Homo-oligomer: A and B are copies of this chain.
Amino acid sequence: MEKITARTNDKIKYAVRLGESASLRKEAGEFFLEGARLCFDAAQTGVEIKQAFFTAKALWKYEDYVGDIIAKSGICYEISAEVSQKLSGTENSQGVFCICSMKTPPEGDGIDPCGKYIALENLQDPSNLGAICRSAEAIGLDGLIVSGGCDIYNPKALRAAMGSSLRMNMISVENLADFISQANNKGMLTLASVPRNTATDIRTVEMSGGVICCVGNEGSGLTQQVIEKCKKQVVIPMNGRAESFNASAAAAILAWELKR
């Protein structure tokens, strides 16, 4: 295994930039992953691992995970503790990192007209995005639709998702309003989640067929275009002076109701 000890090594600089820059990720079709378990999950899930980096300590400390990662990786490097520190976004790094190819989009639109989906528009907080992936997988949704600024390959989003975003059916769309129109044409029920108690109580919505429920930005909610395309506006009824739920709490409850 080739060794890298210089923090200024080009491969290391590229990996750091890949973690930092959404536009570089998009351009290269690659993303950066940190953590023994997450990299192992990527290997298990069939994500293409182009390069893997391990500290000497990680090679024995996480040997249960490392073997699979090495087996699936194009090239592996041993890195010094200093290089690991440069790559890491956390205080106590495990010293395991990968550069992976983004998953190829599903054939067609990736939507089963009888399935249950949450669609996220312009979520701001990557930790919310990751937590919603985790809930969506655990609840057993058929996929997660992401649009606008929702970058599932952001390192914080990947960490919060705990591998679920690598395993789930993730559908990335350019224009959510257009996508909702197409779903309407397929006979799916499309719901816009809004924080207004005058909208339809989510508990009273008939969920037997295919459903897409849209959740918007933490501060500004869904765009008017998306709300107008959806067949129904729904609300999680609220008490007290609370103005809304945290986006990941709202998405968890909505996903839970979709699958009730």
Contact = CB atoms under 8 A, between A and B. Distances in A.
Interface of A: 127, 131-132, 134-135, 137-140, 160, 162-164, 167-168, 203, 236, 238-246, 248-253, 256, 260
A36 to B, nearest CB: 15
24 contacts: A131-B246, A131-B248, A134-B245, A134-B246, A134-B249, A135-B245, A138-B236, A138-B242, A138-B244, A139-B238, A140-B239, A163-B241, A164-B241, A167-B240, A168-B240, A203-B260, A245-B252, A246-B252, A248-B248, A248-B249, A249-B249, A249-B252, A250-B252, A252-B253
A217 to B, nearest CB: 16
Contacts of A249: 131-132, 134-135, 248-249, 251-252
Nearest to A127: B127
Contact of A256 (B167, B242, B253): B253
Q: Can you tell how many copies of this chain the complex includes?
A: 2
A162 B256 contact: no
Contact of A160 (B160, B236, B246): B246
A222 to B, nearest CB: 18
Given A246-B248, A252-B245, A253-B253, A238 B131 contact: no
A34 to B, nearest CB: 17
A160 B203 CA distance: 26
A226 B50 CA distance: 46
- Please list the 10 inter-chain residue pairs (A to B) with the smallest Cβ-Cβ separation, ordered nearest first: A140-B239, A138-B242, A249-B252, A131-B246, A138-B238, A137-B242, A135-B249, A137-B240, A252-B252, A253-B256
A17 B118 CA distance: 42
A242 B131 contact: no
Nearest to A41: B241
A240 B140 contact: yes
A135 B245 CA distance: 6
A36 B213 CA distance: 33
Most B Cβ at <10 Å: residue of A140, A245, A249: A249
A135 B241 CA distance: 11
